[in-house]
Structure 1
Amino acid sequence: MPFTFKQFHIDDSHCGMPVSTDGVILGAWAKLPITTDENKPRNRYRILDIGAGSGLLSLMAVQRINNLNTDVIAVELDDGAAQDCHFNFEQSPWHSQLRVQHQSIQQFADEIARSGSALFDAIICNPPYFENGPQSDAKQRATARHTNTLNFETLLTHIQQLLSANGTASLIIPIQSELGFLAALSQTELVITAKTTICTVETKATSRLLLALKHRSALSKQLPKLISSNLIISDGKGQYTEAMKQLCRDFYLKL
């Protein structure tokens, strides 16, 4: 279903997974490279959106940075989703800064390695996360939701490969997938530097996790204290909480 935000429009009619609250929250929360350590603008930012779907996260990222020296590459395997992503990019105010790569992240990572291209200052990803259980009869939706073609081990291996030395990767996963994600993470040199738990309402248990990852080598020998927070989406009366409004104010039309 088409979805209009404050500065761009999304058509996700060919996507296995439509625009979701998860995606909007991740796009608004993701840790992006606004400035360098010297607090001055740098020449060029490179951002990678893995499994881009309709291109929502890419569009949110380029809007947030609001810098003409930003390039966003969206990697999407599915034919229909890549079609929607390209269309949404072309209709946006930032079409010259956005590019779709219609291929798997495995193929893309191999090409980057062979070409010696620059790595990415930020990576954003709302990954497929169901490792088992019933799958949709629609192959496109099943691929978008389940780890059939991209499990956590493969995803994190390629994030480690593609993330620049001081870059940050931001992801969202269901709480049920946390143990599997952490097991896969332990096989890499990536570490969690920020974590936000998400509850739909205050009285319910945590349903999602927002995670920020960095290379261990980019940190001091003693790992910094994990930055933890909690986000409650709704007040239980059908209204967004103030924290949710503040996070998503620049995107949702009615906030």
Structure 2
Amino acid sequence: MSKNVDYMVAIPARYASTRLAGKPLADVGGAPMIVRVCQKALESSASEVVACVDHELVAQALEPLSRQDSRLTVCMTSQNPRSGTERIAEMLRIRNIDPQTIVVNVQGDEPLITRDHIDEVAALLASSGAQMSTLCNPISSIDDVFDPNCVKVVMDKDNFALYFSRTPIPYERDNFAQGQQAVTELKFKHYHHIGIYGYRAATILDYLQKEPAAIEVAESLEQLRLLHYGMKIAVATTERPPETGVDTAADLERVNRIFASQGK
């Protein structure tokens, strides 16, 4: 289905990461991380991949790959965006992208994302009629259910998101009553939200015109703004989630071990 969907990938990359300085240029298997992410995106069915960068060194690192594959474009954005979403919006305005263009947001610190995940999100947006599409995977670990860094999602019968939260949802009242240490098994299904998004260009520009929602600020989850304003988010479940991205030096070591094990 994804082969018939025309879409672009946008990859926001901020140079001055607070937890890992110069993160887009961090070495991943012998290449800058931003190059690895773009390589993965170019394996997808996207008609174009746009790296939204804010530093000349990052743009220079991508020059060889952009010469090798004409689908890769580098867009220099400002230092103003406070999030990847805002950086993509700036790119959409700079390039005057058609409002109906399907955009898949792949974070610049996800060097192990796969083409299947990217294609699936684009196809889901096109087929669902939702304003946004994203992925999740089943949670089997009790620790993950209670971990605030593991964002959970619950869906309705048609697989549209009802809510995203850092707290355990659904909350198993009887099972969780005595606290996490007393939980020996999960009685209901729980799902981990995977932070890859598909949307039309117009949706993200409209999103940024809206006031942040109280629930969005409380949970520190951008996608809750769409739910607050009555928009739909379609969610597909995958049994093969991508490896988590790179936020810290420890994450970078883990990702490099995976690359080494894969012979890359």
For the aligned pair, the TM-score class normalised by the smaller chain equals 0.3 to 0.5
After TM superposition, the score normalised by the length of structure 2 is 0.36
Select the structure with the greater relative contact order (CA < 8 A; seq sep ≥ 6). Answer: 2
Which one has a larger percent strand, Structure 1 or Structure 2? 1
Q: Under a length normalisation based on structure 1, what TM-score does the superposition of the two structures give?
A: 0.37
